[in-house]
Amino acid sequence: MTTGVYLFDLASQHARYLATRQATIAGNVANANTPGYKARDVMPFAQVLARTGLDMASTAKTHIDSQGTRIPVREAKSSETWEVLESSSAVSLEQEMLKAGDVSRQHNLDTAVVKSFHRMLMAAVRSGS
């Protein structure tokens, strides 16, 4: 039985997701002064991945169960949200910049993981394993 290495495919899917999210954020910033414009965002990558039918699988009983580590979330109250511009658009430039920073960090992490995995594969090939 042959099993594939799907890390590169997963990283490619995540990179496409991040590009889409970055374009959405850029659209929000570009329309910040447009009256009536509402800020948009894409669904979280975990939900996108869930639609593909792929799921994490443990190959040993000693692996950590991911179901027990879910972080509870709640809706933000209006008193906790950021102010919007006077133009009556629903865009907070501060929130959009934070989102853009988050996308950048995720991209940098993906790149570092793929580079490390590539180095491990190359080392394994060179050693003849």
Residue 60, domain member (yes or no): no
Please give the biggest Cα pair distance in the chain.
64
Distance of CA 4 to the CA centre of its chain: 23
Assign 38 to helix, strand or coil: strand
Tell me the pLDDT tens digit for each residue of 10-53. Answer: 888 889 889 999 999 998 889 888 888 888 888 888 887 777 66
Q: What would the pLDDT profile of 55-86 be if each residue is shown by its tens digit?
A: 555 566 665 554 444 434 344 455 555 554 45
Decide if 48 is inside a domain.
yes
Number of domains observed in the structure of the chain: 1
Residue 72 in any domain: the answer is no
18 CB-near residues (< 8 Å, 6+ apart): 103, 106, 107, 110
How is residue 20 written in tokens?
């889409």
Tokens of 54: 């792929």
